């Protein structure tokens, strides 16, 4: 599940722009896609307007873009905690 969610964090311009809210799993902030000013990967991957990292998830297509989900994604992809309980599900 987490790997499929991670795939939503790149080459996602259409999904981001059609969402009402996005979240960054690096800085854990939520924001409107209209605040995104920088893109990478030939302008297909959003960079977070707060921290500049390409860890933006669009709410579109995710059942719940919760604070917990963003924290778990950060643990897995940036803090590399292999004992993360979600990985054992």
Number of structural domains (the chain) is: 1
- CA 14/CA 39 separation, integer angstroms: 12
Residue 13 Cα distances to 4, 48, 61, 80, 83, angstroms: 17, 13, 13, 27, 32
pLDDT of 2 reads: 84
pLDDT at 24 over 70: yes
Q: What is the average pLDDT score of the chain?
A: 89
Instruction: Note the pLDDT tens digit of each residue in 57-67.
Output: 999 767 688 99
Only one residue has tokens 């209209």, namely: 34
Q: What pTM does this model have?
A: 0.86
**Residue 16 is part of which domain span?**
2-88
Instruction: Note the pLDDT tens digit of each residue in 69-88.
Output: 999 999 999 987 555 555 54
Element spanning 40, H or E = strand 39-40
């Amino acid at each position: 599940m987490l790997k499929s969610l991670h795939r939503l964090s790149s080459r996602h311009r259409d999904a981001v722009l059609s969402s009402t809210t996005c979240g960054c799993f690096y800085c854990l902030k939520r924001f409107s896609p209209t605040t995104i000013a920088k893109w990478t990967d030939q302008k297909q991957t959003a960079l977070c307007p707060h921290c500049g990292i390409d860890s933006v998830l669009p709410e579109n297509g995710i059942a719940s873009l919760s604070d917990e989900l963003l924290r778990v994604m950060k643990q897995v992809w940036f803090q590399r905690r292999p004992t993360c309980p979600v990985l054992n599900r």
